[in-house]
Amino acid sequence: MQRQFTVVRANQVWVTDITYISTWQGWLYLAVVIDLFTRNVVGWSMKPTLSRELALDALMMAVWRRKPDSEVIVHSDQGSQYDSDDWQRFCRANNLAPSMSWRGNCWERQCGGRIVLQFTEKRTHQEENIQNPGSGSGGYLRLH
């Protein structure tokens, strides 16, 4: 993005990141895609493993939901999920321009706009199902 963080319309720049959530059965990974102009989550994916499919599924949802009619810059860190051949191929096929932060530059992360994830737990005695996230009553996620 060449450090140009001024966005004037929706579907101009999306930012993406992955976070992890501790559950009783292990880690659960959440990938989100946020429109930098509206600050809305436009795509997300949750899986029990950290993989390129996790990031790709979130990006696919964003494209499917927003159906952008012009090129969209997709900004991420330099994680391997965002540098995979599948990611690059999907971006080219869907008029998306991948953009990555500088290696080791935490201040540039997400173009100066932070994704704040709050996980509120409401545990019950029921066993949570990590293979089907969101199916139980274990808690809920709020993105700010």
The predicted model scores a pTM of 0.75
- Going from N- to C-terminal start, the domains of the chain cover 13-112
- In this structure, the dihedral spanned by the alpha carbons of residues 128, 133, 135 and 141, taken in order and rounded to 10 degrees, is 100
Beta-carbon contacts of 64 under 8 Å, excluding residues fewer than 6 positions away, are: 43
CATH H superfamily, domain 13-112: Ribonuclease H-like superfamily/Ribonuclease H (3.30.420.10)
- Model pLDDT, residue 51: 92
In whole angstroms, give the CA distance from residue 23 to residue 121. Answer: 10
Beta-carbon contacts of 37 under 8 Å, excluding residues fewer than 6 positions away, are: 7, 8, 9, 10, 11, 12, 13
Q: pLDDT under 50 in the chain at which residues?
A: 1, 106-107, 109-113, 116, 118-127, 135-138, 144
72-76 and 96-100: which strand pairing? Answer: parallel
